[in-house]
């Protein structure tokens, strides 16, 4: 059991959500120990030669949380806060997410503790290759499959695929989110944001809201945040504010994402965009908008600011952005929270399509990818909504209940519990 408190670590926070639902499902302690604990954790030393000849030593992690439903699956992030606890938390979220959206994977995550802005491109490549070669013996298309996350992208995946292939033979299926010419899937780059907007559409339908009446603020303008902004604006939602690590912008009449993209290309940040006013990064979370979409870091909505949130709905495009205490405060004040394991599941869903295409050695069209993504996301949303209505509970508890029940059933059939 984990008691509700303001100082839970990321992994303790996910455990809190797990036990909260396991209590309701009546899961016994022995089964909990198997489902909640991690299967394998590794920490690797990564000495990397700097361009100036010096040697810098970093540390990387890979955590395989649960593989009852299939090969381990999860992204790799490069971030100064990446540590074993955070990677465990993200790995366990992947277990419940893959089960909820019903793709045949378990849950894993990787991280390298580094500030990538301090690395040249060549140093970034050497660090990526070193990380992959140090963890490569637990990676495989039927063992554990990597993908992009914060500060990693299609290029990072290409280096990883190449590094793994040099030791074990050419095998594109060991990473997803690759560049399309190397076996990546069409539609993968936009998939997480596209899935988030599909969830937004379903939520709007459920609550009888029309896109044109809904104002949206998005924290983070990287892969997930920028695609969410672009596709939401395309569907008529009024995107009023976005941010990144260097600043935040707000335009009461809406932001043109086409113009913003041009600005970001030149300036490297959303800050200073002519079509909007610069605001404080933290102020974005407290804007008077209908929908708030955190799409950057974890724990950004916590006991210090949960009371200040004015949005009617939070859609967790980031992983773990709302702490358990904040979740309680928001729920008590009637804010609807759509949890990460549903809201950002579009990424792993199209990663599954990419893996399938690699194994079949056959490429799908972008239309087919998006159509199948829509089917998976809308089915998952409907299941969560129905479960929440049946149990008269929150979308988070309903989503965890589905994920945990699926994994528990498979673990029982395999004889693990
Ligand atoms: P990214 O590196 O492409 O983008 C991250 C963005 O967050 C950047 O714009 C960065 O400037 C911004 N950012 C960082 N610190 C910030 C801060 N303090 N305030 C405001 N903005 C800040 O990463 P991404 O792949 O878009 O991932 C974002 C989130 O989505 C993460 O929580 C990740 O785990 C989650 N996620 C990503 C995927 C995927 O397919 N990439 C899938 C599921 C979930």
HEC-encoded secondary structure of 171-230 = CHHHECCCCHHHCCCCCHHHHHHHHHHHHHHHHHHHCCCCHHHCEEEEECCCHHHHHHHH
Let me know if residue 86 belongs to a domain: yes
Determine the pLDDT at residue 29: 95
Q: At what angle do helices 188-206 and 366-391 cross, to 10 degrees?
A: 40
Residue 152 CA: which ligand 1 atom is closest?
Answer: 2
Q: Comparing C-alpha atoms, which of 37, 41, 31, 15 is closest to residue 144? A: 41
Q: What is the pLDDT of residues 130-150, one digit of tens each?
A: 999 999 999 999 999 999 999
Contact criterion met (CB below 8 Å) for 348 and 73 = yes
Residues 130 and 212 placed together within one structural domain of the fold: no
- Does the pTM of the predicted model rise above 0.85? yes
Determine the pLDDT at residue 241: 98
Residue 222 CA: which ligand 1 atom is closest?
Answer: 4
Query: Edge to edge, what strands does the sheet with 55-66 contain?
Result: 40-49, 55-66, 107-113, 76-79
Q: At what angle do helices 366-391 and 395-414 cross, to 10 degrees?
A: 100
CA–CA dist 347, 74 (Å, integer): 10
Residues 263 and 119 placed together within one structural domain of the fold: no
How many Cα neighbours within 13 Å face the side chain of 162? 13
Residues 195 and 233 placed together within one structural domain of the fold: yes
- In this structure, what DSSP letter does residue 182 have? G
pLDDT higher than threshold 90 for residue 1: no
Determine the pLDDT at residue 246: 97
How many percent of the chain have pLDDT more than 70?
Answer: 100
- How many domains does the chain contain in total? 2
Active site residues: 109
Give the mean pLDDT of 383-410: 97
Let me know if residue 25 belongs to a domain: no
Q: What is the pLDDT of residues 290-311, one digit of tens each?
A: 999 999 999 999 999 999 999 9
Residues 342 and 249 placed together within one structural domain of the fold: yes
277 Cβ contact partners less than 8 Å away, ≥ 6 residues apart: 249, 250, 251
Q: Comparing C-alpha atoms, which of 311, 155, 146 is closest to residue 223? A: 155
Q: What is the pLDDT of residues 171-229, one digit of tens each?
A: 999 999 999 999 999 999 999 999 999 999 999 999 999 999 999 999 999 999 999 99
CA–CA dist 337, 10 (Å, integer): 18
Ligand 1 neighbours (beta carbon < 6 A):
148-151, 192, 219-225, 243-245, 281, 295-297, 317-319, 344, 347
Residues 214 and 353 placed together within one structural domain of the fold: yes
Contact criterion met (CB below 8 Å) for 294 and 321 = yes
User: Which of 97, 225, 246 is the best mutation target for the ligand 1 pocket, counting ligand atoms within 8 Å of the beta carbon and taking the most?
Assistant: 225
Helix or strand or coil: residue 124?
Answer: helix
CA–CA dist 28, 404 (Å, integer): 13
Q: How is residue 223 written in tokens?
A: 């892969």
Give the end of a domain, one of 135, 159, 182: 182
Residues 385 and 314 placed together within one structural domain of the fold: yes
Let me know if residue 328 belongs to a domain: yes
Give the mean pLDDT of 81-99: 98
Residues 145 and 55 placed together within one structural domain of the fold: yes
Q: State the distance from the centre of ligand 1 to the C-alpha of 193, rounded, in angstroms.
A: 11
Give the mean pLDDT of 40-68: 98
> Which protein residue has the closest C-alpha to ligand 1 atom 17?
245
Let me know if residue 1 belongs to a domain: no
Give the end of a domain, one of 131, 163, 182: 182
Q: How is residue 167 written in tokens?
A: 């030791």
CA distances 31 to 38, 93, 188, 412, Å, are: 13, 18, 35, 9
Quickly tell me which residue has 């002519």 as its tokens. Answer: 274
Let me know if residue 246 belongs to a domain: yes
Give the end of a domain, one of 182, 202, 220: 182
Determine the pLDDT at residue 158: 98
CA–CA dist 203, 365 (Å, integer): 28
Contact criterion met (CB below 8 Å) for 128 and 76 = no
Let me know if residue 101 belongs to a domain: yes
Q: How is residue 352 written in tokens?
A: 């599954």
Angle, vertex CA 15, rays to CA 82 and CA 327, nearest 5: 90
Query: Residue 72: beta bridge partners?
Result: 144
CA–CA dist 302, 291 (Å, integer): 17
CA–CA dist 131, 261 (Å, integer): 32
Work out the burial of residue 214: count CB atoms within 10 Å of its CB; fewer than 13 is exposed, 13-18 middle, 19 or more buried.
Answer: buried
> Residue 358: pLDDT band by 50, 70, 90 thresholds?
very high
Give the mean pLDDT of 375-380: 98
Residues 76 and 128 placed together within one structural domain of the fold: yes
Q: What is the pLDDT of residues 17-47, one digit of tens each?
A: 999 999 999 999 999 999 999 999 999 999 9
Residues 107 and 165 placed together within one structural domain of the fold: yes
Q: State the distance from the centre of ligand 1 to the C-alpha of 384, rounded, in angstroms.
A: 25
Q: How is residue 180 written in tokens?
A: 């399309």
What's the domain range around 121? 39-182
Residues 108 and 215 placed together within one structural domain of the fold: no
Summary mean pLDDT of the chain: 97
Determine the pLDDT at residue 69: 98
User: Which of 223, 248, 349 is the best mutation target for the ligand 1 pocket, counting ligand atoms within 8 Å of the beta carbon and taking the most?
Assistant: 223
Query: Residue 216: beta bridge partners?
Result: 239, 291
> Which protein residue has the closest C-alpha to ligand 1 atom 5?
222
């Amino acid at each position: 059991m984990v008691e509700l408190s303001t100082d839970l670590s990321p992994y303790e926070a996910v455990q809190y959500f797990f036990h909260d639902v396991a209590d309701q499902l009546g899961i016994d302690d022995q089964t909990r120990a198997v489902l909640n604990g991690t299967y394998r954790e590794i920490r690797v030393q990564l000495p990397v030669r700097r361009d100036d000849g010096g040697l810098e030593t970093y540390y990387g992690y890979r955590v395989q949380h649960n593989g009852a439903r299939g090969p381990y699956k999860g992204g790799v992030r490069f971030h100064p806060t990446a540590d074993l606890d955070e990677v465990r938390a993200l790995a366990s979220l992947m277990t419940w997410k893959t089960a909820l959206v019903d793709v045949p994977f378990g849950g894993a995550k990787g991280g390298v503790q580094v500030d990538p802005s301090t690395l040249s491109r060549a140093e970034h490549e050497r660090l990526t290759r070193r990380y992959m070669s140090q963890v490569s013996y637990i990676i495989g298309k039927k063992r554990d499959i990597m993908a992009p996350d914060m500060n990693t992208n299609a290029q990072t995946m290409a280096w990883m695929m190449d590094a793994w292939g040099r030791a074990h033979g050419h095998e594109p299926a060991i990473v997803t989110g690759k560049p399309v010419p190397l076996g990546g899937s069409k539609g993968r780059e936009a998939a997480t944001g596209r899935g988030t907007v599909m969830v937004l559409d379903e939520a709007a339908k459920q609550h009888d809201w029309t896109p044109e009446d809904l104002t949206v603020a998005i924290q983070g303008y990287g892969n997930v945040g920028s695609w969410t902004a672009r596709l939401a604006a395309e569907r008529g939602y009024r995107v009023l504010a976005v941010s990144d690590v260097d600043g935040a912008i707000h335009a009461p009449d809406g932001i043109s994402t086409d113009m913003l993209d041009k600005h970001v290309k030149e300036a490297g940040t959303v800050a200073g965009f002519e079509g909007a006013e610069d605001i404080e990064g933290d102020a974005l979370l407290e804007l008077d908008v209908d929908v708030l979409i955190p799409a950057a870091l974890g724990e950004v909505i916590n006991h210090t600011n949960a009371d200040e949130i004015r949005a009617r709905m939070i859609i967790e495009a980031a992983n773990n952005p709302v702490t358990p205490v904040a979740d309680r405060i928001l729920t008590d004040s009637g804010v609807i929270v759509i949890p990460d394991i549903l809201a950002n599941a579009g990424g792993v869903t199209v990663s599954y399509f990419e893996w399938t295409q690699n194994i079949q050695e056959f490429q799908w069209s972008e239309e087919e990818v998006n159509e199948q993504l829509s089917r998976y996301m809308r089915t998952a949303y409907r299941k969560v909504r129905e479960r929440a209505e049946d149990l008269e509970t929150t979308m988070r508890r309903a989503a965890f209940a589905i994920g945990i029940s699926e994994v528990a059933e498979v673990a029982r059939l395999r004889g693990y519990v």
